[in-house]
Amino acid sequence: MMGHTHVLSGAVAFLAVAGPLSEHVLPLGPAAVAVGTLVAAGAAMLPDLDHHNGTIANAFGPISRLLCRLVAALSGGHRHGTHSLIGAAVFTGLALYAGRDRWAFTVALWLCMGLAVRGLWRRPKNRPNGRFDYRDIAGLVHAAVAFLAAYQIAHSSIDLTVVPWAIAIGYLTHLTGDSLTEQGVPWLGPAPHRYRIASIDTGKAVETWVVVPALYAGLIATAFLTYSN
């Protein structure tokens, strides 16, 4: 599944639950909804931190490649530990912990927002030789800009208690999305069985011309519904 699809579905999922969440659990102002949408969009990329050569690995140049290698080593490789409920619990737990510390919060926001923006760009070409080039410099500049934005938000007066919710929602949206593909997802990992809701081989053209426009439409519709009542 393309990064683009994951990012948009994370945003749509958050907006879809923002109304009931705000009404019954955690009152959300417009700024908190905006931050939550952005964070959920980025959190919908987090499970693929276990992929050493994907969109995420190249998002922040050498920083993200190192991070991906580390996560892959800890989680057992692509579509293993991070693609399970335990992986979702670990990342949500980290986000809860980050809720107590503005700097840890800055890092969590940095990662999510940076990945959300990167996920919407074109997927970079794989580089088997791994040599440092201009894309790494672009990644590092992107990392610096995302960090500044995250710092500003984390140190503003916006109530950030929404962030762990957004991370959990975005993360689970990714696992659900991957469950629609042939490979399936080991939801109950470390148990090896992979669960599959469907086995759609979306393909790039279908995703680009059908799924992504549908998600944009969903994003506009849910944003409209959230704000019109």
What's the rounded Cα separation, in Å, for the pair 193 and 196? 10
Interaction between residue 178 and Zn ion (CB under 5 A): yes
| Nearest distance, CB of residue 3 and Zn ion, angstroms | 10
Q: Which is nearer to Zn ion, 51 or 94 (CB)?
A: 51
What's the rounded Cα separation, in Å, for the pair 68 and 62? 10
Q: Which is nearer to Zn ion, 38 or 45 (CB)?
A: 45
Burial of 13 (0-12, 13-18, 19+ CB in 10 A): buried
Q: Which is nearer to Zn ion, 8 or 160 (CB)?
A: 8
DSSP helix/strand/coil, 197: coil
- Residue 93 DSSP class: H
| Nearest distance, CB of residue 194 and Zn ion, angstroms | 12
Helices 102-120 + 162-179 axis angle, to 10: 40
Q: Which is nearer to Zn ion, 173 or 226 (CB)?
A: 173
| Nearest distance, CB of residue 20 and Zn ion, angstroms | 27
Among 48, 58, 61, 215, binds Zn ion (CB under 5 A): 48
Q: Identify any residues that bridge with 195 across adjacent strands, giving them in sequence order.
A: 185
Binding part of the chain for Zn ion, among 19-27, 38-46, 121-129, 175-183 by CB under 5 A, reads: 175-183
What's the rounded Cα separation, in Å, for the pair 54 and 219? 25
Q: Which is nearer to Zn ion, 48 or 136 (CB)?
A: 48
Q: Are 109 and 150 in contact (CB under 8 A)?
A: yes
| Nearest distance, CB of residue 51 and Zn ion, angstroms | 7
Binding part of the chain for Zn ion, among 37-45, 92-100, 125-133, 173-181 by CB under 5 A, reads: 173-181
CA-CA-CA-CA torsion for 86, 91, 92, 96, nearest 10 degrees?
A: 130
Q: Which is nearer to Zn ion, 3 or 139 (CB)?
A: 3
| Nearest distance, CB of residue 82 and Zn ion, angstroms | 8
| Nearest distance, CB of residue 220 and Zn ion, angstroms | 26
The token pair that represents 142 in the structure block: 């992107």
What's the rounded Cα separation, in Å, for the pair 223 and 204? 26
Binding part of the chain for Zn ion, among 11-19, 25-33, 178-186, 201-209 by CB under 5 A, reads: 178-186
Interaction between residue 50 and Zn ion (CB under 5 A): no
Q: Which residues bind Zn ion (CB under 5 A)?
A: 47-48, 178
